[in-house]
Amino acid sequence: MKEAAVLPMLLKQLRLPTMSRLWKEMNTEAVEQGWTPTRYLKALCEHELSDRDNRKLARYMAESQLPRGKTLETFDFRAIPSLNKSRITAFASGDVWIKSGKNLLIFGPSGVGKTHLAAAIGEKLVEAGYRVLFSRTTEVVQKLQVAKRECNLVSALEKLNKYDCLILDDMGYVQKDQTETSVLFELISERYENKSLLITCNQTFDEWDKIFMDKAMTIAAVDRLVHHATILELNVESYRKRAALKATKLQKEEVEQNQRASSLTSAAGNADPASDVLEEEANQAHV
């Protein structure tokens, strides 16, 4: 049939890969079930749209560079009692803050779960259909410095605007002594009241003059970041350290248990019937 030969080409030209893949078998089903042409076309369109969403999600997830396995499902909220789970879940849906280009700043010492939480929120944002990029702050700074040297800073900053949320992990590791950090200030200014930043940092604002070139730039950067921001402070003991201590304690308990078990076994092996009698007597005396 001529139509049947032409249709795959037309669907390909129209960039409808799912319809191209399914039209034939669904046509058979439609004939068998007595579907109207409208129902058949609607079913094909629905498959195309659903596959398109899945492909988009997979693309956004791949481009996000989020670390694997750091999800809200694996985040133990009991470790940080001050953190409200439903508030974090609301953040992860993104609607209010991402749509209005607000920021989220997560502070706390090393090992408390800042990166895990940021990545987990990022993953949920991608699932909600937002575009996210996760990066160490030092890497972004290096790339922007290269762009600046090549007189491409404006277009490099504009390229980052396609991301609804830019996660800058470990802002505190950027040091002005090693690098020229005005590009970081340019990035913050570019996104101000425009696109969201999610920043993790182990240094409080009063130490940020180690990051930026001078005091005025530090004040201006902090000002822009906090103007429309939520700040989460994770001031607990390092999760890593607690996990290591727990593991050491468990190991110690296991060793002690093994030692007890082996001393009991050897005592049983050397058992002297007389000592049993003595023990029995002692027990009776105690009763």
- The interface with ligand ADP within residues 135-174 (CB under 6 A) comprises none
Q: Which two tokens stand for residue 74?
A: 């694996």
Cβ atoms of 52 and 15 closer than 8 Å: no
Please identify the residue of the shown chain whose CB is closest to the bound Mg ion: 115
Least gap, CB of 42 to ligand ADP (angstroms): 45
**What CA–CA distance (Å, rounded) separates 189 from 102?**
13
Q: Which two tokens stand for residue 158?
A: 């504009």
Cβ atoms of 66 and 123 closer than 8 Å: yes
Nearer Cβ to ligand ADP (145/202): 202
The contact pattern for ligand ADP, residues 52-91, with x = CB under 6 A and - = no contact, is ------------------x---xxx--xx-----------
User: Of the listed pieces 105-113, 128-136, 147-155, 266-274, which binds ligand ADP according to CB under 6 A?
Assistant: 105-113
- Binding of Mg ion by 115 (CB under 5 A): yes
The contact pattern for Mg ion, residues 74-113, with x = CB under 5 A and - = no contact, is ----------------------------------------
The contact pattern for ligand ADP, residues 229-258, with x = CB under 6 A and - = no contact, is ----------xx------------------
> How many chain residues touch Mg ion (CB under 5 A)?
1
Least gap, CB of 220 to ligand ADP (angstroms): 26
Cβ atoms of 136 and 170 closer than 8 Å: yes
User: Of the listed pieces 1-9, 110-118, 125-133, 206-214, which binds ligand ADP according to CB under 6 A?
Assistant: 110-118
Query: Among residues 22, 91, 103, 111, which is the contact residue for ligand ADP, using CB under 6 A?
Result: 111
- Binding of ligand ADP by 124 (CB under 6 A): no
- Binding of Mg ion by 135 (CB under 5 A): no
Give me the phi and psi of 36, to 5 degrees please: -75, 160
Cα 184 vs. chain centroid, distance in angstroms?
22
Least gap, CB of 126 to ligand ADP (angstroms): 18
Q: Determine the residue type at 71.
A: T
Nearer Cβ to ligand ADP (17/109): 109
Q: Which residues bind ligand ADP (CB under 6 A)?
A: 70, 74-76, 79-80, 108, 110-116, 200, 239-240
